[in-house]
Amino acid sequence: MAALTEEQSMLKDQASAWATEQAPVQKFREMRDSGAAEGFTPATWESMVDMGWTGILIPEAYGGSDLGYLTFGVVLEQLGRQLTASPLFASALVGASAVILGGSDGQKQQLLPKVVDGSEILTLAVDDGPRHAPAAIAMKAERTGDGFSLSGTKHFVVEGMTATTLIVAARTGGASGSMDGLSLFLVPGDAPGLSRARLATVDSRGYANVTFDGVSVGADALLGEADQGGVLLDAVLDRARAGLGAEMLGTAAQAFDMTLEYLKTREQFGRVIGSFQALGHRAAGLFTQMELARSCAEAALQAIDADTDDVAQMCSLSKARVGDFLHEMSNQLIQIHGGIGMTDEFDAGFYLKRARVLEALYGNQAFHRDRYARLLGF
């Protein structure tokens, strides 16, 4: 486990206490049962803004605290434990990273302070289809006299129902199958020609398919340089994957803790089931997998903070390794709990459903094993 600084340790304790007391799984259940179109509770989001979590990555010049990705990961892990739903990841990590890495000073001045105060919710709209395949982007951005016209549909946009500005990846050149010729655009959520269709997902969050029907944006909407967005998009996606690794670790770790507690208390044949050797071995194997996953998740975040040469490899390693553990742990959570694990009254199902979505988001295990191998020259 990474040695946390005093500041990170305090933030971890704050996030853990807040999530357990103010935003536990029970609150998520209430939000799901209410059918909230946003996919989160506004009061929960306001609390996060008040605690300053939206500014963790943002430079002090724009009102943030600039504490880095490992610090952000510490918070995401605690939120992952309670399945706390909010735009924090999509806006203050993924969206903010795109603006910090690719934005002009004017774009940063315009957006970053609003990300910190919560009045702006950013999201990345990347995939043209249901599978994550950035190189396969075919959505066109045609050059017009003074800007660009965007047409096409982006699938499975995280926080797509509430985002006030979308960072849209579209093709201004090159051929589908290549990262060359991609450009990123800042598109206001209320732009004429933009429409959203809410998706009903197993994890009850606010995803949407977003359609662009000749949406006009000025030249100043371009994030970074035209046709050169592939490198920027890769960098932003890796930061997203590293953040997801931290959240997935929290979700899996809570599933492990719930399972361990059950093994210690459930009695069968006159003794607690954890005393049976086969179940003890299973728990020990899962604990080992969890520690390996933690090492990978934290290494990815530290690589970004240190700006090392192997950021892409570490982020794919994290997403694949933590994804494998989360898949296995969410299955074991149900299996070891037996019949009660199958009921909606028990929380295990929430963890399984969230696990399946997190595994697929920004590339599943197969996508990242393949990418990791390619990056290493295989």
CATH code for the domain of 256:
1.20.140.10
**Statement to judge: residues 279 and 302 lie in one domain:** yes
- Specify the 3-state DSSP secondary structure of 228: strand
**Statement to judge: residues 238 and 353 lie in one domain:** yes
**Statement to judge: residues 313 and 340 lie in one domain:** yes
- Which of 61, 83, 118 terminates a domain? The answer is 118
DSSP annotation of 363 reads: S
Cα 202 to Cα 5: distance, rounded to the nearest angstrom: 37
Long-range contacts of 258-261 (CB under 8 A, 24+ apart): 258/333, 258/347, 258/348, 258/351, 259/283, 259/286, 259/329, 259/332, 259/333, 259/336, 259/337
Cα 158 to Cα 80: distance, rounded to the nearest angstrom: 16
User: In tens digits, what is the pLDDT along the chain, a chain of 378 residues?
Assistant: 668 999 999 999 999 999 999 999 999 999 999 988 899 999 999 999 999 999 999 999 999 999 999 999 999 999 999 999 999 999 999 999 999 999 999 999 999 999 999 999 999 999 999 899 999 999 999 999 899 999 999 999 999 999 999 999 999 999 989 999 999 999 999 999 999 999 999 999 999 999 999 999 999 999 999 999 999 999 999 999 999 999 999 999 999 999 999 899 988 888 988 878 888 999 999 999 999 999 999 999 999 999 999 999 999 999 999 999 999 999 999 999 988 888 898 899 999 999 999 999 999 999 999 999 999 999
**Statement to judge: residues 106 and 218 lie in one domain:** no
**Statement to judge: residues 364 and 261 lie in one domain:** yes
Q: Which two tokens stand for residue 306?
A: 């240190």
Terminal-to-terminal C-alpha distance of the chain: 29
Q: Does 1 reside within a domain?
A: no
- Which of 227, 242, 257 terminates a domain? The answer is 227
Q: Does 278 reside within a domain?
A: yes
Cα 351 to Cα 326: distance, rounded to the nearest angstrom: 9
Q: Which two tokens stand for residue 264?
A: 């210690």
**Statement to judge: residues 139 and 16 lie in one domain:** no
Cα 159 to Cα 33: distance, rounded to the nearest angstrom: 18
**Statement to judge: residues 97 and 145 lie in one domain:** no
**Statement to judge: residues 188 and 305 lie in one domain:** no
CATH of the domain at 162: 2.40.110.10
pTM exceeds 0.85 for this model: yes
**pLDDT at residue 128 in the model:** 96
**Statement to judge: residues 81 and 142 lie in one domain:** no
Q: Does 38 reside within a domain?
A: yes
- Which of 99, 118, 137 terminates a domain? The answer is 118
**pLDDT at residue 274 in the model:** 86
For the chain, the domain total comes to: 3
Q: Which residues span the domain enclosing 76? A: 6-118
**Statement to judge: residues 112 and 134 lie in one domain:** no
**Statement to judge: residues 240 and 347 lie in one domain:** yes
- In the numeric block, the tokens 């300053």 are attached to 52
CA diameter of the chain: 79
Cα 263 to Cα 157: distance, rounded to the nearest angstrom: 39
CATH of the domain at 102: 1.10.540.10
**Statement to judge: residues 330 and 349 lie in one domain:** yes
Q: Does 185 reside within a domain?
A: yes
